Structure 1
Amino acid sequence: MSKLVITVTLNPALDKTVTIDGLEVGGLNRVDDIRIDAGGKGINVAKVLKGFQVDVTAVGFIGGHNGNLILQDLEREGIEHSFTETAAETRMNLKVVDSTVQVTTEINERGGTVSSQEKAQFQQALEDQLEQASILVLGGSVPPGVEHAEYALLIETAKSKGVKTILDADGDALRDGLIASPNVIKPNIHELEQLLGVTLESDEEIVQAARKLTSQGIEWVIVSMGGEGSVAVSKDEALRARPFKIKPESTVGAGDSMVAAIASSLLHGRGLEETLRWATAAGSVTASKPGTQVCRSEEVEERLDDVGITRIEA
C-alpha cells in the first residue's frame, strides 16, 4: 500500500509575517521583524509532514511572481510539488503579530481567478496522482473561478480510488465538501458553530453536534479549540483532549500541524484516541514556536504523555 500523502491547496498564498511590539490601530507601527513563507493550509500541512518524514506531494494552483517564490520555498525545504500553473497571480497574505500580547491579525487576499481550462487540467493531473496515494488532504479557501463544490468532487474522486480524505475548510467550502463524506474533518469550534448555526457551550453539546456529522458518513470529527484543547468524535467514541501548558508564541500553523498529525496517524493505523493525542500535542508544540516555525515529529512524541485524554458521556 502506498504511503504517499497529497495535500491540495487550491488558493495558496505568499505569507508575509510582520512582528510589531504593540500594534496601534490607526497609528504608525514600526516593524521589528519580517518573514516571507509559502502559505496555504495544504502547503503548511506538507511542511509538517516533511518534518515527520512522511512521503508528501503538494498540489494546487500557482501563478506569477508570488507563485514562483512559493515554489522556490518548497524546493528549499525539499517538498515534492506538482502545481497547475495559472495565468493569474498567486495572492499575498499579511499576518501581523503583536509581540506584546501575542495576538496575530491576518489580512487575506481573495486570490486570482482560475480558468475552466486550468481547473480541468488540475483535476486530470490529480486523478492520475491519486493512483499512487494513500491519503488526500484538502484545506483552505477556493479561489475565484472554482466552485465551493470542488472539494466534494475531489473527495469523490479520491474515494473511488480507495484514498482516505481529510477536509479542513470553513464556510461554504466545508458545507459543500461534506456532501461527499470525507473520512475526517477538523473544524475549529467557531467553524463548527457556523456550519450548524448553533452556539456550543459544553463538551456534551459539541459531541451532539459532531454526531450529526458522523451520522452522515464522516468517520471522525476532530474539533480544535485553541488553548482549550480539542474534542474528537466518531460513531462510537467521544474524547476530550486537554493540552499541556505552553507559552504561546504564534498561532500560525497550529491547526495545520494538527491536520498533519492526523494524516500521519492514519498512515500508522492509529485509533481515534492516539490520533487525538498526536494532533493535540502537534498543535501545542507549534503554538509554542515563534513566527511560522512548526513542530517536528520528535518534539511531538516527547509530549504525548502530557496530553490529558478523558471520555465524554453524551
Structure 2
Amino acid sequence: MIYTITFNPALDYVISVDHFEKGVVNRVTEEHIFCGGKGINVSAILKELGYESKALGFVAGFTGDEIVRRAQSEYGINADFIKVAEGMSRINVKLRSDEETEINGIGPKITDADLDKLFAKLDEMQMSDVLVLSGSIPKSISPTIYETILNRLQDKKIFSVVDATGDLLVNVLKYRPFLIKPNNHEIEEIFNVKLQGEEDLVKYAHKLQEMGARNVLISLAGDGSLLVDEHGGQHRLGVCKGKVKNSVGAGDSMVAGFIAGYLRNGDYKEALELGTACGGATAFSESLAKKDFIYENLRQLRGEN
C-alpha cells in the first residue's frame, strides 16, 4: 500500500484578473476551486496511473469537509483524514494576472491527541509499503515530525519518499529515504554553494547519498531533471514540450509518476520517464493531469509520436 500525508491541506481558490490593481475593485474573469495539498496531489496522480493509495492528514471545519468531499468525488482517492476540533482548513487564494500572487491561510490547530491518531494509522503500515512525506508543516506541529514518523517506522523497512526543503529534508536523511526530490536552488541552500554545472549537480547528489538518501532526483525546471540512483547510475532527461498553463502540482505529479514507474519493474529509467511525463502533463493542464494526457506526454518524451 502507498500512503501519503498532507499535514495542512487547503481549498485552492484560483482566480484570474486581466490587470490587477491595488486599492480598487477588480473583476475576476475566471475562477476555479481545487482541493490542494502535496500528498493529495500525489494520491490523485497515482490513481490516474492505476495505483491505489491512502491519503492521510488533518482537516477541520466546513472547508475540511469540502476538501475530503472533493478528494473523493473528483480524484477518487481514499481520503482517510483526521478531523480536528480547533480552527479550519485553509483557503489559499492564487491570483493570476500580470504577476502571480498567492495568499495562503493558516490552517487548524493540531494537538498531540490528533497526532496520536495519525501514528495509529501509520502503525498499520507493512514491510515494503510506500510513505510519501511532502510539503511544509503547520506551526502547531513540531518541525521534527518527519523525523519522528520515520524513526517510528524504521524497523518496517518501508520505502519513504521525502519532498521537502531545508532542515525538514536534511534531518531525515539519516533514515535512508528511498527518494528525495530537491531542486538545484534547494541544493545550493543546503550546502551554501553556487552550482556551476552538471558535474556539480552530480557531486552534491552524491553528498546527499553519503548523508543517507538512496536516490536523488533533482528537478531543473525548464532544463529537465537528473536522477542519481542508488546503484551509481546517472539518468538525465529533458522536459516534455507544451504550453505551461499551471505550475501547481507539477512536482507532486513527478513524484507520483516516479513511484508508479519504479513499482512496475524497478527500472529507474522508466521511473524517471513516467515521472517527467506526469509533471509535464500537469503543467500543461488547468489542474492535475489525466491518464490519457500523461501517456501522450510519455510517448512524446520517448519519441514515439
2:268 aligned partner = 272
Identity of aligned residues (%): 34
Kindly indicate whether residue 79 of structure 2 is the aligned counterpart of residue 81 of structure 1.
yes
Query: Which residue is equivalent to 1:297?
Result: 291
| Paired position in structure 1 for 2:257 | 261
**Partner amino acid for 2:263?**
L
Structure 2 residue matching 1:44: 3-state secondary structure: helix
Asked whether the 8 Å contact 1:158–1:165 carries over to 2, the reply is no
Partner SS for 2:47 = helix
Contact 1:104 1:251 in 2 (8 A): no
Separation (CA, whole Å) in 2 of partners of 1:80 and 1:206: 37
Distance of 1:107 and 1:308 partners within structure 2: 38
**Does 2:122 correspond to 1:126?**
yes
> What are the residue-to-residue correspondences of 1:100-139 with 2, within 5 Å?
104-128=100-124, 130-131=125-126, 134-139=129-134
The structural deviation recorded for 1:160 is 2.1
Assess, with a 3 A threshold, how the Cα gap between structure 1 residues 68 and 104 changes in structure 2: closer, same or farther: same
Distance 1:36 1:237, change over 3 A: same
The residue correspondences of 1:1-314 to structure 2 (distance < 5 A) are 4-24=1-21, 28-77=25-74, 78-88=76-86, 89-98=88-97, 104-128=100-124, 130-131=125-126, 134-235=129-230, 236-290=232-286, 293-307=287-301
Deviations 1:250-289 (A, max 9, x none): 1111111001101212321332222111111111111111
Q: Specify the code of the residue in structure 2 equivalent to 1:177.
A: V
**Structure 1, 250-259 or 273-282: larger mean CA deviation:** 273-282
Q: Matches of 2:85 and 2:128 in 1, distance apart?
A: 28
CA contact (8 A) 1:138 1:165 kept: yes
> How far apart in 2 are the matches of 1:299 and 1:111?
33
Structure with greater contact order relative to length (CA < 8 Å, sep ≥ 6): 1
Range with bigger deviation, 29-38 or 169-178 = 169-178
Residues 13-34 of structure 1: per-residue CA shift (max 9 Å, x gap)? 1211112224446665321111
Give the counterpart letter for 1:91 in structure 2. Answer: R
Relative to structure 1, is the Cα distance of residues 166 and 67 closer, same or farther in structure 2, using a 3 angstrom cutoff?
same
Residue type matched to 1:96 in 2? L
Deviates more, 1:280-289 or 1:108-117: 108-117
Query: How far is the alpha carbon of 1:112 from its aligned partner?
Result: 2.5
Decide whether aligned partners of structure 1 residues 80 and 133 sit closer, same or farther in structure 2, where only a CA change above 3 A counts: farther
Note closer, same or farther for the CA distance 1:11–1:283 as it changes in structure 2 (3 Å cut). same
Q: Could you tell me whether the CA contact under 8 Å between 1:138 and 1:166 is conserved in 2?
A: yes
Contact 1:112–1:144 (CA<8 Å) still a contact in 2?
A: no
Structure 1 residue 133, shift from structure 2 partner: 7.0
1:131 aligned counterpart, secondary structure: coil
Distance 1:183 1:10 in 2: 21
Q: Name the SS of the counterpart of 1:124 in structure 2.
A: helix
On the 8 A contact 2:59/2:108 being kept in 1, the answer is no
TM-score normalized with structure 2 length: 0.90
CA 1:26–1:168: 2 relative to 1, 3 Å = farther
Does the aligned pair in 2 maintain the 1:166–1:185 contact within 8 Å?
A: yes
Aligned-pair CA distance for 1:189: 2.2
Which runs of 5 or more structure 2 residues have no equivalent in the other structure? Answer: none
In the alignment, the residues of structure 2 paired with residue 263 and residue 76 of structure 1 have an alpha-carbon distance, to the nearest angstrom, of 23
How far, CA to CA, are the matches of 1:71 and 1:140 in structure 2? 18
Deviates more, 1:78-87 or 1:190-199: 190-199
User: Residue 256 of structure 1: SS of its match in structure 2?
Assistant: helix
CA drift of 1:303 comes to 2.8
Pairwise CA RMSD: 2.2
Q: Take 2:133 and 2:139, find their aligned partners in 1: how far apart are those partners? A: 17
Shift in Å, 1:111: 2.4
Indicate the SS of the match to 1:145.
coil
Aligned residue pairs total 300
Unaligned runs of 5+ in 1: 310-314
